[in-house]
């Protein structure tokens, strides 16, 4: 046998030996996307926040027949991120539909709008056989095993209860299974992350709101709230909390992300941080550019008062001279890496915020792309058990633990019966 032939035979033998040893050691890796899809078909991917109900209010005044969620909503102007086919392509097993009400609505008007948003969400769910309205973890798993998308409701902003714990109970009875304590603005009992603090966190009435949520089994959502509110809530709550759509402040220091000292307490609490895809929350260069644009716009408005055309022309030139960087799928994966390193995979979930934002990271343009994110995590060496927890098992655990706490509290206490005026 010639040298070339012997060399070829030796290389083939080495290759064969390497493959055999890799297979024996369990090191051979299948296609990352195929593995991601296999995982998402074995456990439910539970997304913490999708704003489709708000799109119905914003676009068509909740006239349900004017948007067909079973059709291709990417053809709308502007396109939506969500429809039934793309949810199925994305292997979504459970979805918290946000029944958001703008903080511009106040008092009884906010409460009325909340009822309307719960109504549109429940009508949407009942209209589509691929969706199944559920209120607990057992129902969620039953829907998943039937091949349907388990659909839960999450209220975004405590202003909608109009300072009434009785109203909070009524929303729970209608199916709401989490409440974000604030939105962009403070409530009368809790400080928001993006407003000037008024209460140094959570007021005494706010503590009673959290306690009643624990008693009912409603998840306390700390997305949007001020870090002091996060800490005060973690001091009070007897059940695990969630962050339905927030990322890591240590990775991107946006006010809406979760600080490290709060992350450390989430471990003790048993809660879950559901990483969001909002571009400025996950990409620091983009966050800095947005802040610079806001500063430039304010400067131009002061330079050219009463001349909006000149302001518009000059800000357009500034944008051309300062193009926005692109957030990417990899940025989101970096946040998941950060959280895994800090608090472990047992406390991570996913909260995309689809149809609640105008732009999304490259690679995560709509709800069909969840497998691509999980494929990236496979590439980064995440174990199957970790990915199953991140996809949905962590959220299921929190839901079950919150139910257990509620059952115990109901044996010990009556429904909370206080008024905000009691604490003046």
Gap between the terminal Cα atoms of the chain: 96
Which is catalytic among the residues 47, 81, 83, 183?
183
Count of other CB atoms within 10 angstroms of residue 178:
26
Which is catalytic among the residues 47, 83, 156, 331?
156
Residue 79 near residue 72 (C-beta atoms within 8 A): no
C-alpha to C-alpha distance for 156 and 97, rounded to whole angstroms? 10
C-alpha to C-alpha distance for 269 and 214, rounded to whole angstroms? 13
Reading phi first (left if > 0) and then psi (alpha if -120 to 50, else beta), residue 136 is in: beta
Which is catalytic among the residues 49, 159, 199, 347?
49
State the DSSP code for 304. S
Widest distance between CA atoms in the chain: 96
Count of other CB atoms within 10 angstroms of residue 52:
24
C-alpha to C-alpha distance for 228 and 233, rounded to whole angstroms? 8
341 is catalytic: no
The alpha carbon torsion through 240, 246, 248, 251 (nearest 10 deg) reads 170
- Structure-block tokens of residue 191: 């400080």
Quick one: which H or E segment has residue 294? helix 284-303
Which is catalytic among the residues 47, 51, 334, 386?
51
49 is catalytic: yes
199 is catalytic: no
C-alpha to C-alpha distance for 86 and 412, rounded to whole angstroms? 45
- Structure-block tokens of residue 184: 């962009």
C-alpha to C-alpha distance for 86 and 355, rounded to whole angstroms? 13
243 strand-pairing partners: 273
- Structure-block tokens of residue 320: 């051309």
226 is catalytic: no
Tokens 């959280």 correspond to: 339
C-alpha to C-alpha distance for 62 and 358, rounded to whole angstroms? 20
C-alpha to C-alpha distance for 400 and 252, rounded to whole angstroms? 31
C-alpha to C-alpha distance for 382 and 396, rounded to whole angstroms? 20
Helix (H, G, I), strand (E, B) or coil at 128: coil
Which is catalytic among the residues 159, 199, 224, 335?
224
208 is catalytic: no
231 is catalytic: no
Which is catalytic among the residues 159, 245, 335, 347?
245
- Cα distances (angstroms) measured from residue 304 to each of 180, 297, 320, 321: 40, 10, 20, 20
Which is catalytic among the residues 353, 366, 386, 388?
353
State the DSSP code for 190. B
The set of catalytic residues is: 49, 51, 156, 183, 224, 245, 353
């Amino acid at each position: 046998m010639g040298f070339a032939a012997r060399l070829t035979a030796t290389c083939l033998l080495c290759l064969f030996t390497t493959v055999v040893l890799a297979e024996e050691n369990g090191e051979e890796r299948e296609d990352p996307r195929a593995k991601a899809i296999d995982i998402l078909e074995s456990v439910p991917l539970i997304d913490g926040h999708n704003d489709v109900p708000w799109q119905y209010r914003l676009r068509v005044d909740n006239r349900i027949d004017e948007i067909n969620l079973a059709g291709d909503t990417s053809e709308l102007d502007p396109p939506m991120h969500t429809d039934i086919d793309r949810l199925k392509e994305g292997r979504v097993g459970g979805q918290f539909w946000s029944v958001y009400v703008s903080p511009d609505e106040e008092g009884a008007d906010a409460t009325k709008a909340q009822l309307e948003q719960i109504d549109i969400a429940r009508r949407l769910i009942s209209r589509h056989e691929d969706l199944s309205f559920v209120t607990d973890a057992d129902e969620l798993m039953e829907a998943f095993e039937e091949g349907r998308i388990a659909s839960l409701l999450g209220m975004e902003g405590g202003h909608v209860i109009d300072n009434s714990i009785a109203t909070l109970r009524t929303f729970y009875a209608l199916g709401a299974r989490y409440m974000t304590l604030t939105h962009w603005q403070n409530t009368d009992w809790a400080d928001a992350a993006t407003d000037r603090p008024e209460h140094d966190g959570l007021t005494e009435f706010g503590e009673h709101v959290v306690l009643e949520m624990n008693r009912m089994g409603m998840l306390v959502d700390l997305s949007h709230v001020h870090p002091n509110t996060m800490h005060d809530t973690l001091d009070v709550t007897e059940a695990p909390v969630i962050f339905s759509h927030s990322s890591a402040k240590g990775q991107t220091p946006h006010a809406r992300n979760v600080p490290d000292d709060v992350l450390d307490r989430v471990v003790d609490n048993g809660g879950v941080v559901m990483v969001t895809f909002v571009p400025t929350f996950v990409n620091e260069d983009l966050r800095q550019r947005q802040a610079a644009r806001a500063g430039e716009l304010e400067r131009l408005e002061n330079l050219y008062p009463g001349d909006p055309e000149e302001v518009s022309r000059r800000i357009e030139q500034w944008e051309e001279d300062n193009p926005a960087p692109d957030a990417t799928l990899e940025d989101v994966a970096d946040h998941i890496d950060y959280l895994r390193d800090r608090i472990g995979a047992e406390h991570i979930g996913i909260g995309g915020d689809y149809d609640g934002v105008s732009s999304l990271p490259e690679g995560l343009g709509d709800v069909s792309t969840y497998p691509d994110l999980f494929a990236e995590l496979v590439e980064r060496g995440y174990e199957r058990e970790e990915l199953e927890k991140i996809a949905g098992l962590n959220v299921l655990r929190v839901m079950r633990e919150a139910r257990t706490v509620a059952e115990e509290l109901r044996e010990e206490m009556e429904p909370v019966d206080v008024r905000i005026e009691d604490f003046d």
